[in-house]
Amino acid sequence: MNTSTPDLSYEIPVPKSKQTRGLRKIERQLRPKLRSLRWRVVEQVLSWRNPEALAFYRRAMETAYLPDDLIDVVPQLKILYLATPKAASSRIRSNLAAMIGNDTVSGWRSDQNWKVHNRKASNLQAPRHGVLQFYRMATSPEALRFTFVRNPYTRLLSCWADQYRDRPLVPGYGRVEVYLAYREMADPALPVGPDKSLSFADFVAFACTTSTWRIDKHWQRQSDIIDLPGVAFDLVGKTETFAQDFERVLDHVGASDEMRRAAMPPLHTSSRRRLADYFTPELADTIYRAYERDFDQFGYPRALPE
């Protein structure tokens, strides 16, 4: 009979799925610390070699609205693009990604939004990915700095239709959670609960009250979004004249005929109903008063578009 002590030194095999989840959890925990360490090293180098670039970046981070989220630095194309949400930003980012050879997000469709706004998928750089390149694209006379804006009436309607229409007002969806977090501060009479959803009129009331609070980029005033210190935009295009205005970008990169055709698919619209079916004179007046700076700065008329 074998009376030897059994070998207990071996490890119990861990299923790969559990190993993977464990590694991902550790990675998520370490990521902020590694990013902070990397930034401290970069900051030290920049403070010595390029202090003006570092100062420029810091100023943008302190005063601009979500610069690392909304700014794309594309040094290969000598482009700096500021993405204004609900103003063709998904289409533009898809085009820029395709221009630098990333076909995985080209041919944009609305169900691929997560790809075009994901840095790893698009390969588009945020300012934090290259402070010196950000500074150069923001100041170089050879670079094109551009953004696009949209009529505040249709921008708010698109936001409501995409993010709020028919959604129950309970936690679990990002935009709804923003609404729930600020609802009482805006107007406690606004609806809440699993059996409630935001009507367009309710959304307008909430968005117009919070349009300067910097709580959500989708209805933040566009004039605030593009207020980027130290950056003079060469092109402020309009979604309504996208094909005409985006030609400036295509000319800048020397786009081929094939690239120009791919850049101009039909615009996605949130609804086929007429604007007049959604807007009362009172709603239009509420929006105009809240976004008057946008109307004036970008030359949009007070009247509803046809």
pLDDT tens digit string along 128-144? Answer: 999 999 999 999 999 99
Average pLDDT over residues 144-171: 96
What is the C-alpha to C-alpha distance for residues 278 and 283, in angstroms, rounded to an integer? 9
pLDDT at 18: 65
Which residues pair with residue 193 across a beta bridge?
169
Half-sphere exposure at residue 268, Cβ-oriented, CA atoms within 13 angstroms: 20
Res 149: pLDDT: 98
Sequence-ordered alpha helix ranges (H) in 71-112: 89-99
235 assigned to some structural domain: no
Does the residue 229 lie in any domain?
Answer: no
Is 270:162 a contact under the CB 8 Å cutoff? yes
Specify whether 211 is located in the same domain as 97. Answer: no
Residues 197 and 94 in one domain: no
- Please tell me the distance from the alpha carbon of residue 65 to that of residue 271, in angstroms, as a whole number: 29
Q: How far, in Å, CA of 240 to CA of 99, rounded?
A: 23
pLDDT band for position 89 (50/70/90)? very high
Domain limits for position 250: 51-149+240-266
Same domain, 40 and 163: no
Task: Specify if 110 maps to a domain.
Answer: yes
Q: Are residues 112 and 145 in the same domain?
A: yes
Q: Which of 73, 117, 124 is nearest to 102 (CA)?
A: 124
Same domain? 293 vs 163: yes
Pairing of strands 71-74, 79-82: antiparallel
**Helices and strands per DSSP (H, E), number in the chain:** 15, 4
Number of domains observed in the structure of the chain: 3
- Range name among 23-32, 88-97, 139-148 with the lowest pLDDT average: 23-32
Give me the pLDDT at residue 29, please: 72
Q: At 52, list the tokens.
A: 């003006």
